[in-house]
Chain A
Amino acid sequence: MSELELQQVSRWYGHVVAVNGVSMTIGPGVTGLLGPNGAGKSTLIAMMSGFLAPSAGSVTLDGQPIWRNDGLYRQIGLVPEREAVFEHLTGRQFVVAMAELHGLSSPGQAAAHAIATVEMHEAQDRRISTYSKGMRQRIKMAQALVHDPAVLLLDEPFNGMDPRQRMHLMELLREMGQQGRTVLFSSHILEEVEQVARHIEVVVAGRHAASGDFGAIRRLMTDRPNRYVIRSSDDRRLAAALIADESARAVSLRSNGDGIDVEAVDFGRFSWVLPRLTRENDIRLLEVSATDESLESVFSYLISS
């Protein structure tokens, strides 16, 4: 049972702050590190894996600082985001070499077990340069597992995987979590995190935006005010009908006279009430489009709540 702890961790590059005052504790089980691109997820994982010194604060594994502590790599398995591996080696040679570097007594056996775990035995004797993106991810996973680490850190592990490979890796991560390992993976895709991790940590613009059970955070995300642009056969009448309903907080006619801007506060009710109101008022809907569905807007809302 290992625990990663970040206390008031900041990291800056010159005048650019990549991570700002983040505190979190990652315990056994699967934790998803969620945030849009550029939020600081890779910076956090680099600090957790001893590849970046925090500018302020501390990053520890079971109380020991990770930075410049080579011995801790016995407990850590790392799957970096970058694709490059030792291209001139076969998958098996690569994993065996990694097992040797860990000083394992039976590197061949450990490598065979890790390769079987990620289902790469069929391609293990092919050069890594011939591997697809998904196969590379799996062989990277095998090298991270070869020494049976208590902590597994994965930076955007699902990138480039096809749906079947993705499902398999998700299953693997769930198993690792159930075995009592501390598994942390980063992703910018909500649905990926949802399927694997019950516990999530959300980072936005270098700040720790939310932490906790996925269900609660998911509800916060779906219940946030949503903005839409709606065009119809009678915008003014539709605006009046919508503002009379409690699902909308603000409605305004667009300045160019083409459509209305609506801010809905109850997404579930709004999606049900809109078609009913148009039907009752004999209005024809021409267009309904969400204007703030980007992850950034979702995360921004999380910070403000």
Chain B
Amino acid sequence: MNATVVRLAFRSMFGRRRAILLCVLALVLLAVAVLVRVLAGESTSDASVVLFEIGLVLIVPLVALIAGTGVIAPEIDDGSIVYLLAKPISRYVIVISKLAVAVTCSLVFGALTMLAPGLILDPSYTELWLGSGVGALTAGVVYSAIFLMLSIATRHAVVWGLIYVLIWEGLLGGLLSGVRWVSVAQWASAITDEIAASSRLDPRLSVVYAIVVAVVVLVLATWFAGFRLRSFHLTGEE
């Protein structure tokens, strides 16, 4: 990891409108939890719905999408990435440093925020909100690596990311049971349920599978991002 790359990435993230978007997403999740609590009272089943359907399937991936693409895509688009790459630093180190920043954003705006709905909706059920936080962190790390890799591999990372989050996981994930094998949200849900010692979050995957596949995807996405960055092409304006 390179401290200067990390510092520049943080400044880049929070010097732009992305930071506001991240705050808005976190606030949306909190607002929904408060609203449900006010309307329906204390409820474990409502907490589960808010945590999974809104938190894991929507807010966490969107936070990771903003963070994972935001740490590198704008620099690739405007060409300023060249100032990082024209240095005697391994491209893998650059990727890992950027990923660390994206994961930190996912932790703060995704995982930590995910503790709140459980606390608001079912405060006595400690394992539930703790499990939600760990599940959200796992999802945040894997999503960040995937979206960072997409940012380097394609100029349309945000579009592909949205298609994956909204259509694959959000829409098809609810209709087709097979999707769960290749759904980051479902892997995170399996981990959450294991910690919560409950099947109320409806996990249909074994936690071992979820952990193994999450680690494999994280490693592969990070490696591929570094590999693609090694072949980064710069062309002028002619």
Interface flags for B77-96 (1: CB within 8 Å of A; 0: not) read 01110111111111100000
Q: Are A46 and B233 in contact (CB under 8 A)?
A: yes
In the complex, which of the residues B7, B88, B237 contacts A97, with contact meaning CB atoms closer than 8 Å? B7
What B residues does A41 contact at CB under 8 A?
236, 238
From the candidates A70, A100, A103, A143, name the one contacting B91 in the complex (CB within 8 A): A70
Kindly state whether residue B4 has any CB partner on chain A within 8 Å.
yes
Any chain A CB within 8 A of the CB of B231? yes
**B231 and A53 contact, CB distance less than 8 A:** yes
For A186, the closest partner residue in chain B by CB is B236
Chain B neighbourhood of A82, CB < 8 A: 78-80, 82, 236-237
* Interface size of B in residues (CB-CB distance below 8 Å): 32
Task: Give Cα A78 to B7, complex, Å.
Answer: 22
B85 touches A51 (CB 8 A): yes
Given A70-B91, A84-B80, A86-B12, A100–B237 Cβ distance below 8 Å?
A: no
Q: B227-238, CB under 8 A of A: which get 1 and which 0? A: 000111111111
User: Does B2 count as interface, using CB distance less than 8 angstroms?
Assistant: yes
Q: Give a binary string over A40-52; 1 marks a CB under 8 Å from any B CB, 0 the rest.
A: 1111011001111
Within 8 A of B (CB), among A92-110: 94, 97-98, 100-103
Q: Which B residues are in CB contact (< 8 Å) with A235?
A: none
**What residues of A have a CB within 8 angstroms of the CB of B216 in the complex?**
none
Q: What is the distance, in angstroms, from A112's C-beta to the closest C-beta of chain B?
A: 17
Expressed in whole angstroms, the Cα–Cα distance for A132 and B106 within the complex equals: 36
Q: Which residue of B lies closest to A143 (CB)?
A: B83
Cβ contact of B5, chosen from A46, A81, A84, A101, cutoff 8 A: A101
How many angstroms from the CA of A86 to the CA of B12 in the assembled complex?
A: 8
Count contacts on A: residues with CB < 8 A to the other chain.
40
Whether A42 pairs with B236 at a CB distance below 8 angstroms is yes
- From known contacts A70-B88, A102-B88, infer whether A80 and B234 are also in contact, taking CB-CB under 8 Å: yes
Q: Provide the bound-state CA to CA distance between A40 and B236, in Å.
A: 9
Verify A46–B8 contact, CB threshold 8 A: no
Q: Which residue of A lies closest to B74 (CB)?
A: A84
A101 nearest CB neighbor, chain B only = B87
A51 near B82: Cβ-Cβ < 8 Å: yes
Question: CA A238 – CA B83 in complex, angstroms?
Answer: 60
Measured between beta carbons, the chain A residues less than 8 angstroms from B230 are: 68
Is B156's CB within 8 Å of the partner chain A? no
- Interface of chain B, main secondary structure: loop
Q: Does A89 contact B (CB under 8 A)?
A: yes
Q: How far is the CB of B71 from chain A (nearest CB, A)?
A: 13
Complex Cα spacing A78 to B11, Å:
23
Q: A81-B236, A101-B5, A156-B236 are in contact. Are A86 and B87 (CB under 8 A)?
A: no
- B214, chain A: closest CB distance, angstroms: 30
Interchain CB contact under 8 A, A101 and B236: no
Choice from B78, B84, B88, B234 contacting A74 with Cβ under 8 Å: B88
User: Which of B11, B82, B87, B238 has a CB less than 8 Å from the CB of A89?
Assistant: B11
Encode contact with B along A248-289: 1 for CB under 8 Å, 0 otherwise.
Answer: 000000000000000000000000000000000000000000
Q: Does the CB pair A155–B236 fall under 8 Å?
A: yes
With a cutoff of 8 Å between Cβ atoms, the chain B residues found around residue A50 in the complex are 86
Which residues of B have CB within 8 Å of A38?
238
When C-beta atoms are compared, the residue in chain B nearest to A43 turns out to be B235
CB closest chain-A residue, reference B2: A101
Chain A, 18-55, CB within 8 A of any chain B CB: 37-43, 45-46, 49-53
Q: Is A76 an interface residue (CB 8 A)?
A: yes
Answer whether residue B178 sits at the interface, using C-beta atoms and an 8 A cutoff. Answer: no
| A68, A84, A85, A143 — most chain B CB neighbours (10 Å) | A84
Which chain B residue lies CB-closest to A99?
A: B4
Minimum distance in angstroms from B231 CB to a CB of chain A: 7
A282 to chain B, nearest CB (A): 50
Any chain B CB within 8 A of the CB of A131?
no
A88 located at the interface, meaning its Cβ lies under 8 Å from any Cβ of chain B in the complex: yes
In the complex, chain A residues whose CB is within 8 Å of the CB of B78: 82, 84
Q: Are B8 and A97 in contact (CB under 8 A)?
A: yes
CB distance from A43 to the nearest CB of B (A): 7
Q: In the bound complex, do residue A42 and residue B91 qualify as a contact, i.e. CB atoms below 8 Å apart?
A: no
Alpha-carbon gap, A84 to B82, bound state (A): 10
For window 181-238 of chain B, which residues contact chain A by CB distance below 8 Å?
A: 230-238
Residue numbers in B under 8 Å from A72 (CB-CB): 88
Closest to A18 in B: B235
Residue A14 CB within 8 A of the other chain: no
User: Closest 4 interchain pairs by CB?
Assistant: A42-B236, A51-B234, A84-B78, A88-B15
Contacts A49-B86, A143-B83 known; list 10 others, CB within 8 Å.
A50-B86, A51-B234, A52-B234, A74-B88, A78-B82, A81-B237, A82-B78, A82-B236, A84-B80, A88-B12
Can you list 16 A-B pairs with a CB-CB distance of less than 8 A? A43-B236, A49-B234, A70-B91, A80-B79, A80-B234, A80-B236, A82-B237, A85-B83, A89-B8, A100-B4, A101-B5, A101-B87, A101-B89, A103-B88, A155-B236, A156-B236
Give the interface of B toward A (CB within 8 A): 2-5, 7-8, 11-12, 15-16, 78-80, 82-91, 230-238
